[in-house]
Amino acid sequence: MNNNPRHDHNIEIVSGVLIALNNLGLSPHPGTRAFSSERQIPTFLHEPPHRHEFLNSSGAVIPCTAFGNPNPVIRWINDDGTPAADIAGLRHVRLDGSLVFQPFRTDQYRQDVHAATYRCTATNVFGTLSSRDVHVVAGES
């Protein structure tokens, strides 16, 4: 693996890991700002995987993060395009944009929640970016 960092105007990639610099303007280069003040359509910093399997006893967290200017709003949608609404004790979206499946008893299994397809979207005034389909499969432990 190459340990030489590569730089562009908005991000630093070190050893293949994407490190998002915060929008306080911190930069690895003296005298420069990490983020441009230019308006930008959303771009994924971390796009969710195509498939995510988990056990009912452990639950799961599926991250989705994006950058844009202004900052994009992260939402999760069902396969039919409707919002993936919070379901008490089963599923919710965290403030950081992660889709969370809470641990559940086998009698709480719901096919429309635990064996479903979701997409993450990042939206600002300049556009909406949709992730690939994320196939979620919960198994019994």
Residue 6 has pLDDT above 80, yes or no: no
Name the residue among 84, 26, 1, 91 with its Cα closest to residue 10.
26
Q: What is the mean pLDDT of the chain?
A: 83
Q: Quick check: 58 pLDDT over 70?
A: yes
- Cα distance between the two ends of the chain: 36
Higher pLDDT, 22 or 140: 140
Three-point CA angle 96, 66, 78, nearest 5°: 75
H or E stretch at 14: strand 11-14
β-bridge mates for residue 12, sequence order: 7, 19
pTM of the model: 0.73
Give me the architecture of the 40-139 domain, per CATH. Answer: Sandwich (2.60)
- The model's pLDDT over 61-96, given as tens digits with 9 standing for 90+, comes to 999 999 999 999 999 999 999 999 999 999 999 999
pLDDT of residue 56: 98
| SS3 category, 112 | helix
Per-residue pLDDT reduced to its tens digit, 95-122: 999 999 999 999 999 999 999 999 999 9
